[in-house]
Amino acid sequence: MNRVTSYGAAKSVTGSCHLVELFGLNILIDCGMFQGEFGVEKNYEDFEFDVNKIDYLIITHGHLDHIGRVPKLVKDGFDGVFISTVATKEIANIMLQDSAKILREEYKTLRRKAKRRGDEKRITEPLYTLEHVKEVFLKKWQTLEYHQEIELSKDIKITFGDAGHILGSAFVMIDYKDKKSKKRVVFSGDIGSKERMILDPLDTLSSAETLFIESTYGDRNHRSLKASIEEFKETVINTLKRDGNVIIPSFAIERTQEILWLLNNMEADGELPRCQVFLDSPLATKATRLYAKYPVHLNEELELHAQENGNPFHFASLNISSTRQESLLINKVKERAIIIAGSGMCHGGRIMHHLKHRLWNENNCVIFVGFQVEGTLGREIIDGYEYVKIYGEDIIVKAQVETINGFSAHADQSDMIEWMSHIKDLKNLYLIHGEESKMKIFAKKIKEELNLDAKIVEYGKSVELV
C-alpha cells in the first residue's frame, strides 16, 4: 500500500515527521522536535515506526521542529541516506550542536520532575549528546540543488523547489509511476511569504496530484512587509529616544539576519538613534556567517550589497557577544541598547537573562518578530500575563510589548492560496503543521477560493496515496 502517516505536525506546529511508504521504499520527510510545555517529554518516547526500515530521510530545512530528533533517529538505528540542500546540511550541523548543549540542562530538569513523580526509569539519559550529533554527519548524505532531479528507485524521483522560508529551505516533489500513470505528491515543508526581506522568493509549483501543506498562519494574513518595517523602525526609535532598551527574542536562522539587515539600513540612512546593538547569540552568529557564505540564495539587493560593500549583516554599531562573560557585561549598559538574543520563543537561552533584568522597566520594549507556541514564555508575555516566571522568580511585566508578524518566515493565508492556485491537477489536499482551530479556518477559505476540499491530517493515521 502506498500511503503517508504523520507522526508529528498533525494538528500542531512542531515535531514535523511524515512517513511515506511508496512501492516498498520508506521515506521519512523531516524528523522534528516537539516544542512547548507539553512537547518536551514526548521527544523522549520511542518512534512509532521501525527506524531500521527507513531508507531515506529528506530534510526540508534546518529549524529544530523539522530536524530536532534526527540524532535520536540515528541513535535508535537509522542507517539510511540523508537528502537535503547544501545550506540545510550546514545549518542542521550548527543547530543540532546547539540543541545537544541545551538538552544537557533540559535532562536535569526532566529528571527532577520524574523523581518527584516517582517515574525515574522513563527518562534515563539526555535525548542525545554532541557525540550523537557527530554521528549524524558521518552518515551517507546526498545534497541537491534546487530543481535537480534524483532517482530513489526506477519508479521514484525527487526534486526540490525553493521554499523561500529560510536559507536552503525546500519543498519536496516526489514523482512516481502508478499503474503506468505518472503522479506527484508534494510536501511543502514551511513555505515563505512572497514578501521577503533577504531571500529569493518561493518557487512556483506547476503540478501535483497530492499536496501536504503547512498551515501555521492559515487563519490570517500578515501585515505588509513595508508596514511591518515602518512599525519596527518607529518602535525602536521611540524606545531609544526615551533612553529605553529594545529586547528582541529572535530565531537564530532568518529572523536575526533580517533584523541585522534592517538595522544596517537604518544606520546607513541616518534613521538609527545613537545606541549600541548587541547580537547575543553564538548560534545566530554562526548562522549569520552561513548567510554571508551563500549570497547566491539571497535576493538581488543583498547579493549586490555583498559584492560591492561586503557582509550585509555587519555595521558599525553592532557588537557580537560570543562568550558568557561578554553577555553578562551587557547588563552594565543601562540605556539605548538593542539586544538581539535567542531563543525566539523565550524557552531558554540568553534571552531569559535579558528579560529577567529588563522586563520590569516600563521604558524598555520587547519586540516579538516570530510565532510563539502555546506553553512558551514568549506566548505568556504576548498574551498579557502580569507576572512571568524566569529562573524561579516572578518578574512583573511593565515593558512595552509589541508583536510584529509581518516579518514571519511563514506564508500567510493569501500567500498559500495564491501558491496553490497555480498547481495543475491538484486532487488531494492535506493540512499539516498548524493548530487545529487555524486549520479549520484555512480549510474553509480554501473551499471558498479554490473549491478544493482540504482534509486535516490526524496524528498516526495513514492517508492512502491514490
Residues 93-107 pLDDT 10s: 999 999 999 898 888
- pLDDT confidence band for 121 (50 / 70 / 90): low
Going by C-alpha positions, the residue among 82, 370, 46 that lies closest to residue 222 is: 370
- The 10s digit of each residue's pLDDT in 407-465 is 888 999 999 999 999 999 999 999 999 999 999 999 999 999 999 999 999 999 999 99
Question: Worst-scoring range by mean pLDDT, 59-68, 97-106, 280-289, 377-386?
Answer: 97-106
pLDDT of res. 370: 83
- Pair 460, 7: CB distance under 8 Å: yes
d(CA 185, CA 255): 30
- The 10s digit of each residue's pLDDT in 244-267 is 999 999 889 999 999 999 999 999
Q: Which of 174-183, 185-194, 365-374 has the highest mean pLDDT?
A: 185-194
Could you report how far apart the first and last alpha carbons of the chain are, in Å?
10
- Could you identify the residue written with the cell 508596514? 227
Has residue 38 got a pLDDT over 70? Answer: no
Mean pLDDT of 336-349: 90
Architecture of domain 3-220+409-464: 4-Layer Sandwich (3.60)
- Domain layout of the chain by residue ranges: 3-220+409-464, 225-407
Q: How are beta strands 25-29 and 365-368 bridged, if at all?
A: unpaired
Residue 462 corresponds to which amino acid? S
Going by C-alpha positions, the residue among 197, 255, 249 that lies closest to residue 225 is: 197
- The 10s digit of each residue's pLDDT in 55-78 is 999 999 999 999 999 999 999 999
- pLDDT confidence band for 37 (50 / 70 / 90): low
- Pair 59, 252: CB distance under 8 Å: no
Has residue 227 got a pLDDT over 90? Answer: yes
What totals of helices (H) and strands (E) does the chain contain, helices first?
A: 13, 22
d(CA 16, CA 63): 10
- The 10s digit of each residue's pLDDT in 185-206 is 999 999 998 888 999 999 999 9
Architecture of domain 225-407: 3-Layer(aba) Sandwich (3.40)
Q: 127: helix, coil or strand?
A: coil
Instruction: Say what the pTM is.
Output: 0.91
Has residue 365 got a pLDDT over 80? Answer: yes
Mean of pLDDT over the chain = 94
Whether 3-220+409-464 shares its CATH topology with 225-407 is answered no
